[in-house]
């Protein structure tokens, strides 16, 4: 039995095959279906989750490797008060999604980007999002939503400096 | 008729809708006859009377609306695969109901075509097919609520108005919320549809606004919405392996060895059933998806391929090359005398256009969940055509239709692929042998090898110009495919109404179908997505040959404003066409000076009753790397329902069109698809995605759909820009075949 740290909780996993991709453990065993199966070869990004804060393709990360770090899935983004994060809220406000299937992965990639670069320019956004395909072609809105979220995150930080450890300026 | 032919027949009728309805005005009955091809007239079954009331003390004037003390619920009748209909269709009801959008809860409807009419996500038909019915449903409920309020307040109905889910008596300042009127309204008779007054577009409060999708909050929280997310207690997980060449049958398989693998619950071969679209194969049922996929690596199947597809792209390409100099087998259009006009032309142009097969590549691989219980088969399906899937499952299992329940779940992209319900019959065949629910999961490799492909094609086009540079003759010799040797595959049919037929005096379309066994099916804007490339590129070639402005030539072709099929509101209207072309050109700055290696390209296409023009601003470098800086689109699809969704569809269609024309091709040898995943089937990424400006002309015609028509103009607009920038004419798709890539 493996133990995983997911969204801040310890979760036990029955699957004894350590090579099982994290994606299928999340989806089939733990009921966390936000990360999606798209290609199985780390080419589409639909399965993106964060491992120690960095975006990874969970279809190609063995569960044993994930057990060594902290996993964040889209279900773990909104805080306990159930309020959406600035990234999630921007996705709703800008009506980004069409079919919506890739968007959990897009949101995770954007979340990781903004955590390390709170005010990314277009090139930084394009680079950070390059591993996430959108078959419906919502890229224009995704880019806009990342910028909106960056603005919001900035405002939120200024409004409550204590929470994030100080004024970003 | 087998399942593929059946789908093809549906696709043909949808393709033909804009043009087969002429000349008389389209009556709703006629429209339904043409579109209601499923289940013999079920579409006509819609009634303004309700389904059986689901709860006591609720007001359910029809299938779409339920109002009770808790609130206002509107059913979204059609599957949602990304075109926003789960939001836009209920908006139409809410508008006529005068419900405040924030008060409305939207629920996906059951699959029940007797109550809801034909349920489909396809053909850009959701809005046009349901426009009247949904407006009437809202208006009928509103009238009853007003009647109820009149009784409660003791005033005449004529003194009452409605707004924001309330009936208001302005004279006294009193108002009643709809939720307070539900009981009283439920006791009133449902008004006749003819007695209802529907709003004019100038009275709209909700339609035309930007409304975020009703599922968006659940989506961004990662909640279970899609077919693949379906989970049931005790559920098992299955894979299904089919012969890589379609039609191969199972001779033997190492079933016992597979059954012994860890996590495997069962494994068995399944016979095919062509009538319902079930291919033969081997199912593996396991405790998890991964256990099934892992076990499948050990599966060894011997296939009998004697009756299987042996299709070869290189062989058909060579055959087409041979045929293009010979007259076609049929003449779907033969106006005037194209041959004589070509002979008499002052200048004659000849070109050979080709395009490859393409995959749907919807991001959610096919999947479906089924559970045989209590004498029924229940399915949870991400399908674009649930009613037909239900019938196919009933036919497969020998059940009555009523013994098959289908829950329609959100689909992670459709693009036409989910009109074919092979995943439903496969999971039903598997679940029928189990006592527990089972989810069938295709891999991407399954999906790409067993698609209903967009057919490739070949066009030898010839045209003539007179001394003034006007187009006087047009002949398109189209070489396409047929599975039965008679009917062309989906999208493989030039026909009357396909531009420029209808505006040219001498116009002939010839058609020859090559034998092809691999299934083909509707792919976003069937036919149009490739015909647009050929025709709009060739018109530009003619404008260049005549040394005339492309915009001027297009406008000249449209001529006087008129319907090309008199009295048919789904036909091409040359005035609407000219309107969008002029608007796109104006907004893009047509005619302005451009830097070296950069140019604007223009194209127009009419499909799904939508008039759309696009101008692409493209740079090309010496290595044939292109940058698409911006695409300016102008569309006339009548009044806009949800402005946010409408813009999203146009933006997305343009990105989809660009992605497909750049590098996507599916090739076949020995009946096998040579690409298996996204490493060999590239999709556009964000960095290469252009800015898109969208402009709508909200003409006062009934609204038409927007899931498809913005795609066809994109490829010719880009190729025309590349020509203007470089002098190199591209006549094949994807353009990677000519060494182009995107920077």
Dump pLDDT digits (tens) for B532-565: 999 999 999 999 999 999 999 999 999 999 999 9
Residues forming a β-bridge with B612: B605, B635
Tokens of A134: 């959108």
Query: Cβ contacts (< 8 Å) between A140 and chain B: which residues?
Result: 651, 655, 689, 691-692
Spell out which residues of chain A touch residue B653, defining contact as CB-CB under 8 Å: 137
- Provide the pLDDT for residue A158: 67
Tell me what pLDDT residue B31 has: 40
Distances in Å between the Cα of A35 and the Cα atoms of A30, A111, B355, B577, B677 are: 12, 14, 35, 43, 19
Q: What is the CATH number of the domain that holds A97?
A: 1.10.150.120
Residue of A nearest to B652 (CA): A137
Do the chains contact at B221 and A75, CB–CB below 8 Å? yes
In a domain, A150, yes or no: yes
Specify which residues B163 forms β-bridges with.
B166
B181 vs B67: CA distance, rounded Å: 9
The total number of structural domains in chain A stands at 2
A51 and A69 part of one domain:
yes
Cβ atoms B707, A147 nearer than 8 A: no
DSSP single-letter state for residue B494: -
DSSP annotation of B513: E
- pLDDT tens-digit series, residues A115-156: 999 999 999 999 999 999 999 999 999 999 999 999 987 777
d(CA A149, CA B400): 52
Query: A4-18, B260-274, B579-593: lowest mean pLDDT where?
Result: A4-18
Chain B residues in contact with A17 by the CB 8 A cut-off are 262, 290, 294
Q: Count of residues for chain A? A: 169
Count of A–B CB contacts within 8 Å?
Answer: 195
Q: Output the pLDDT for position B486.
A: 87
Radius of gyration over alpha carbons of chain B, in Å?
A: 27
Q: A36 and B228: CB-CB below 8 Å?
A: yes
User: Which secondary-structure segment (H or E) carries B307?
Assistant: none
Residue B46: what pLDDT?
42
Q: Which of B713, B477, B482 is nearest to B608 (CA)?
A: B713
Q: Is residue A166 part of a domain?
A: no
The answer on A72 and A90 residing in a single domain is no
**For residue B479, which of B324, B350, B314 has the smallest C-alpha distance?**
B324
Residue of B nearest to A123 (CA): B687
Contact A98 B222 (CB under 8 A): no
In the structure encoding, which two tokens stand for residue B422, read together? 């092979």
**Would you tell me how many other CB atoms lie within 10 Å of the CB of residue A10?**
8
d(CA B362, CA B228): 13
Which of B55-69, B127-141, B192-206, B414-428 is predicted least confidently? B55-69
Determine whether the interchain pair B648/A141 forms a contact, defined as Cβ–Cβ distance below 8 Å. Answer: yes
Domain holding A46, by residue range, is 2-76
In a domain, A23, yes or no: yes
In angstroms, the CA A65 to CA B338 distance is 68
Q: Mean pLDDT over residues B115-123, rounded?
A: 94
The minimum CA-CA distance between B39 and chain A, rounded to whole Å, is 28
A126–B220 C-beta distance less than 8 A: no
**Using a CB-CB distance cutoff of 8 angstroms, which residues of chain A are in contact with residue B83?**
98
In a domain, A147, yes or no: yes
A15-24, A40-49, B66-75: the lowest-pLDDT one: A15-24
CA distance B209 to chain A (A): 12
Residue A51 domain-assigned (yes or no): yes
Q: Å from B690 to nearest chain A CA?
A: 8
Task: Report the run of H or E that residue A4 belongs to, with start and end.
Answer: strand A2-6
CA pair distance B596, B616, nearest whole angstrom: 16
Instruction: Chain A: give the shortest CA distance to residue B225, in Å.
Output: 9
Global pTM reads 0.94
∠ Cα B428 B432 B434 (to 5°): 120
A92, part of any domain = yes
**Pair (A50, A94) in one structural domain:** no
Query: How close does chain B come to A56, measured CA to CA in Å?
Result: 17
Residue-level pLDDT at A152: 80
- Look at residues B637, B534, B627, B625 and name the one whose alpha carbon lies nearest to residue B576: B637
- Position B24 confidence tier, pLDDT thresholds 50, 70, 90: very low
Would A81 be classed as within a structural domain?
no
The rounded percent of chain B whose pLDDT value lies above 70 is 92
Give A35 to chain B, closest Cα distance, Å: 7
CA of A135 vs chain B CAs: smallest distance (Å) = 6
| Alpha-carbon span B642 to B89, nearest angstrom | 9
Contacts of B685 in chain A (CB under 8 A): 126, 129-130, 133, 139
Q: What is the CATH number of the domain that holds A62?
A: 3.10.20.30
Domains and their CATH numbers in chain B = 45-218 (3.30.365.10), 227-307+367-441 (3.30.365.10), 324-358+453-742 (3.30.365.10)
Q: Could you give the CA distance from residue B687 to residue B556 in angstroms, rounded to a whole number?
A: 38
Domain co-membership, A68 together with A129: no
* Residue at a domain's end among A76, A104, A119: A76
- Tokens 């992670």 label which residue? B412
DSSP A27: I
| Amino acid B567: pLDDT | 79
Q: What's CA B304's distance to the chain center, in Å?
A: 35
Please tell me whether residues A142 and A91 are part of one structural domain: yes
Q: Provide, for chain A, the percentages of residues in helix, strand and coil under a 3-state DSSP scheme, each rounded to the nearest 5.
A: 40, 15, 45
Q: DSSP letter at B278? A: B
Q: Do A43 and B362 touch (CB under 8 A)?
A: no
Q: What pLDDT digit, counting tens, does each position of B293-340 carry? A: 999 999 999 999 999 999 999 999 999 999 999 999 999 999 999 999
* A108 and A58 fall within a common domain: no
Query: Nearest residue of A to residue B211 by CA position?
Result: A95
Residue of A nearest to B444 (CA): A39
Q: With an 8 Å Cβ cutoff, are A74 and B231 in contact?
A: no
Q: Which of B85, B363, B614 to mutate to test the interface with A (most CBs of A within 10 A)?
A: B363
Residue A169: the pLDDT is: 34
Residue B185: helix, strand or coil by DSSP? helix
When computed from its CA atoms, the radius of gyration of chain A, rounded to whole angstroms, is: 16
Tokens of residue B605, six digits: 């296409």
Split at pLDDT 50, 70, 90, the class of A16 is: confident
Residue B398's pLDDT band (cuts 50, 70, 90): very high
* Res B34: pLDDT: 39
Please report where in the chains the tokens 């991407």 appear, as a residue.
B444
Residue of A6, A18, A38 to mutate, interface with B, max B Cβ within 10 Å: A38
- Token representation of residue B531: 């015909």
For residue B340, the tally of other CB atoms under 10 A from its CB is 12
Instruction: Record the tokens describing residue B430, joined without a space.
Output: 């598997």
Question: Cβ–Cβ of A129/B228 closer than 8 Å?
Answer: no
Which residues of chain B are within 8 Å of residue A90 when distances are taken between CB atoms? none
Q: Which of A39-53, B11-25, B631-645 has the lowest mean pLDDT?
A: B11-25
The pLDDT score that the predictor gives to residue B27 is 42
With a CB cutoff of 8 Å and minimum separation 6, the contacts of B315 are: none
Q: Which residues pair with B369 in a beta bridge?
A: B380, B439
**Shortest Cα distance, chain A CAs vs residue B440, angstroms:** 13
Q: What is the pLDDT of residues B483-511, one digit of tens each?
A: 998 899 999 999 988 999 999 999 999 99
Q: Chain B contacts of A99, Cβ < 8 Å?
A: 80-82, 362-364, 410-414
Domain boundary at A43, A76, A109, which?
A76
Do A16 and A41 belong together in one domain? yes
Q: Cβ neighbours of residue B373 under 8 Å, at least 6 residues apart? A: none
Cβ-contact B77, B109 below 8 angstroms: yes
The residue from A76, A111, A130 where one domain ends is A76
Structure tokens given for B257: 């060895």
Scored b (16 or more CB within 10 A) or e, A109-130 reads bbbbbbeeeeebeeeebbebbe
Partner residue opposite A40 with nearest CB, options B231, B288, B443: B443
Structure tokens at B448: 């790409």
Predicted pLDDT at B2: 66
pLDDT digit string, tens, across residues A47-96 = 999 999 999 999 999 999 999 999 999 999 987 678 999 999 999 999 99
pLDDT in tens, B337-366: 999 999 999 999 999 999 999 999 999 999
The residues facing B520 across adjacent strands are B453
Cβ within 8 Å, pair B683-A135: yes
The reply to whether residue B364 touches residue A100, judged by beta carbons under 8 angstroms, is no
B699-724 residue pLDDT tens? 999 999 999 999 999 999 999 999 99
- Arithmetic mean of pLDDT over chain B: 93
Instruction: Please give the residue of chain A at the shortest CA–CA distance from B362.
Output: A135
The pLDDT of residue B39:
27
pLDDT tens digits for range B437-483: 999 999 999 999 999 999 999 999 999 999 999 999 999 999 999 99
Residues A110 and A128 grouped into a single domain: yes
Q: Are B288 and B335 a contacting pair, CB within 8 Å?
A: no
Dihedral sign of CA atoms B159, B161, B166, B171 in order: negative
Both structure tokens of B74:
């509107």
- Chain A residues whose CB is inside 8 A of the B679 CB are 41, 43
Phi, psi of A168 (to 5 degrees): -65, -25
At B244 the three-state DSSP class reads coil
Cβ of B659 within 8 Å of Cβ of A137? The answer is: yes
Residue B56: predicted pLDDT: 55
For B560, B567, B573, B704, the CA distances from B23, given in Å and listed in that order, are 19, 6, 14, 19
Q: What is the pLDDT of residues B660-704, one digit of tens each?
A: 999 999 999 999 999 999 999 999 999 999 999 999 999 999 999
CA distance B656 to chain A (A): 6
- Are A99 and B229 an interchain contact pair (Cβ–Cβ within 8 Å)? no
Of A37, A74, A139, the CB nearest to B686: A139
A67 and A94 in a single domain? The answer is no
φ, ψ of residue A144 in degrees (nearest 5): -65, -40
**Of B119-128, B191-200, B562-571, the least confident:** B562-571
More confident residue, B9 or B103: B103
Decide if B363 and A20 are in contact by the 8 Å CB cutoff. no
**Per the structure block, which two tokens stand in for A63?**
């569960």
* Nearest chain A Cα distance for residue B691, angstroms: 7
Q: Which residues pair with B65 in a beta bridge?
A: B62, B74
Give the per-residue pLDDT at B4. Answer: 66
Clarify whether residues A72 and A90 are in a common domain: no
The whole-number pLDDT of residue A167 equals 40
Structural element, H or E, at residue A22: helix A22-24
A65 with A127, same domain: the answer is no
Nearest beta carbon to residue B444 from set A21, A40, A107 = A40
Whether pLDDT at B393 is above 90: yes
Cα B200 to Cα B95, B96, B191, B377, B700, distances in angstroms: 11, 10, 20, 45, 10
Indicate the length of chain B as a whole number: 743
Per-residue pLDDT at B36 exceeds 50? no
Q: What ipTM score was computed for the predicted complex, to two decimals? A: 0.94
Contacts of A138 in chain B (CB under 8 A): 648, 651-652, 655
What's the CA gap between B557 and B541, in Å, rounded? 14
A147 shares its domain with A122: yes
Position A52 in a domain? yes
- Judge whether B687 and B511 are in contact, CB under 8 Å: no
Nearest CA in chain A to B642: A95
Report residue A130 as tokens.
Answer: 């390059």
3-class secondary-structure state, position B93: helix
Phi, psi dihedral angles at B579 (to 5 degrees): -60, -45
User: Residue B448 and residue B61: Cα distance in Å, rounded?
Assistant: 45
């Amino acid at each position: 039995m493996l133990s995983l740290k997911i969204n801040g909780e310890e979760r036990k996993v029955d699957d004894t095959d350590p090579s099982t991709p994290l994606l299928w453990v999340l989806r089939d065993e733990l009921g966390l279906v936000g990360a999606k199966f798209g290609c199985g070869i780390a080419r589409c990004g639909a399965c993106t989750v964060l491992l120690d804060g960095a975006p990874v393709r969970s279809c190609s990360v063995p569960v044993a490797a994930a057990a060594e770090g902290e996993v964040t899935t889209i279900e773990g983004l909104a805080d306990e008060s159930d309020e959406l994060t600035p990234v999630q809220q921007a996705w709703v406000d800008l009506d980004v999604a069409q079919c919506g299937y890739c968007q959990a992965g897009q949101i995770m990639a954007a979340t990781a980007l903004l955590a390390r670069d709170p005010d990314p320019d277009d090139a930084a956004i394009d680079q950070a999002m390059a591993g996430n395909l959108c078959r419906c072609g919502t890229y224009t809105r995704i880019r806009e939503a990342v910028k909106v979220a960056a603005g919001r995150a900035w405002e939120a930080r200024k409004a409550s400096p204590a929470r994030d450890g100080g004024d970003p300026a | 008729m087998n399942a593929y032919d059946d789908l093809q027949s549906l696709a043909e009728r949808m393709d033909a809708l804009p043009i087969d309805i002429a000349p008389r005005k389209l009556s709703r009955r006629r429209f339904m006859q043409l579109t209601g091809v499923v289940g013999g007239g079920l579409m006509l079954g819609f009634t303004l009377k309700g389904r059986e009331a689901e709860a006591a003390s609720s007001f359910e004037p029809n299938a779409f609306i339920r109002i009770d003390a808790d609130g206002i619920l509107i059913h979204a009748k059609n599957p949602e695969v990304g075109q926003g209909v789960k939001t836009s269709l209920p908006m139409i009801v809410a508008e006529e109901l005068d419900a405040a959008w924030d008060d409305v809860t939207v629920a996906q409807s059951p699959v029940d075509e007797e109550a809801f009419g034909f349920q489909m996500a396809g053909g850009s038909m959701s809005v046009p097919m349901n426009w009247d019915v949904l407006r009437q449903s809202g208006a009928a409920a509103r009238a009853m609520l007003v009647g109820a309020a009149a009784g409660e307040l003791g005033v005449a109905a004529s003194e009452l108005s409605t707004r924001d889910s309330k009936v208001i008596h302005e004279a006294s300042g009193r108002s009643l919320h709809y939720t307070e009127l539900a009981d009283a309204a439920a006791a009133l008779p449902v008004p006749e549809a003819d007695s209802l007054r529907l709003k004019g577009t100038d009275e709209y409060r909700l339609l035309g606004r930007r409304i975020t999708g009703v599922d968006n909050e659940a989506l961004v929280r990662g909640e279970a919405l899609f077919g693949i997310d379906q989970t049931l207690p005790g559920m098992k997980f299955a894979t299904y392996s089919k012969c890589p060449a379609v039609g191969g049958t199972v001779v033997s398989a190492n079933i016992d060895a597979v059954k012994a693998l860890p996590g495997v619950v069962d494994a068995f071969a399944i016979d095919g059933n062509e009538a319902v679209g079930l291919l033969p194969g081997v199912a593996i049922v396991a405790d998890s998806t991964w256990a099934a996929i892992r076990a499948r690596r050990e599966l060894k199947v011997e296939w009998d391929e004697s009756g299987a597809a042996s299709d070869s792209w290189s062989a058909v390409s060579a055959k087409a090359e041979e045929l293009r100099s010979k007259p076609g087998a049929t003449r779907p259009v033969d106006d005037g005398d194209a041959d004589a006009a070509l002979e008499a032309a002052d200048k004659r142009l000849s070109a050979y256009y080709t395009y490859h097969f393409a995959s749907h590549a919807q991001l959610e691989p096919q999947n479906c969940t089924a559970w045989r219980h209590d004498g029924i088969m229940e399915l949870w399906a991400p399908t674009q055509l649930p009613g037909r899937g239900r019938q196919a499952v009933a036919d497969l299992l020998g059940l009555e239709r009523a013994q098959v329940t289908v829950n329609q779940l959100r689909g992670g992209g459709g693009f036409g692929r989910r009109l074919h319900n092979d995943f439903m019959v496969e999971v039903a065949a598997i679940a029928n042998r189990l006592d527990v629910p089972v989810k069938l999961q295709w891999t991407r490799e399954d999906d790409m090898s067993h698609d209903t492909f967009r057919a490739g094609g070949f066009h030898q086009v010839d045209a003539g110009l007179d001394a003034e540079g006007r187009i006087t003759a047009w002949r398109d010799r189209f070489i396409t495919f047929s599975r039965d040797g008679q009917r062309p595959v989906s999208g493989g049919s030039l026909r009357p109404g396909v531009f420029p037929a209808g505006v040219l005096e001498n116009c002939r379309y010839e058609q020859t179908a090559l034998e092809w066994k691999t299934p083909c099916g509707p792919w976003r804007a069937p036919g149009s997505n490739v015909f647009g490339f050929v025709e709009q590129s060739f018109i530009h070639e003619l404008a260049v040959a005549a040394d005339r402005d492309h915009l001027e030539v297009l406008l000249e072709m449209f001529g006087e404003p008129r319907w090309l099929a008199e009295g048919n509101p789904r036909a091409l209207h040359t005035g609407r066409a000219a309107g969008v072309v002029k608007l796109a050109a104006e907004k893009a700055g047509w005619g302005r000076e451009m830097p070296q290696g950069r140019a604007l390209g223009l194209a127009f296409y009419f499909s799904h009753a939508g008039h759309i023009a696009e101008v692409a601003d493209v740079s090309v470098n010496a290595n044939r790397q292109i940058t698409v800086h911006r695409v300016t689109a102008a569309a006339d699809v009548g009044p806009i329902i949800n402005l946010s969704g409408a813009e999203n569809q146009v933006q997305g269609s343009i990105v989809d069109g660009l992605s497909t024309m750049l590098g996507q091709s599916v090739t076949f040898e020995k009946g096998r698809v040579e690409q298996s995943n996204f490493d060999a089937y590239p999709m556009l990424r964000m960095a290469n995605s252009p800015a898109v400006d969208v402009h709508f002309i909200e003409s006062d015609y009934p609204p038409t759909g927007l899931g498809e028509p913005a795609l066809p103009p994109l490829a010719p607009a880009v190729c025309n820009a590349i020509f203007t920038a470089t002098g190199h004419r591209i006549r094949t798709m994807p353009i990677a075949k000519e060494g182009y890539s995107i920077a």
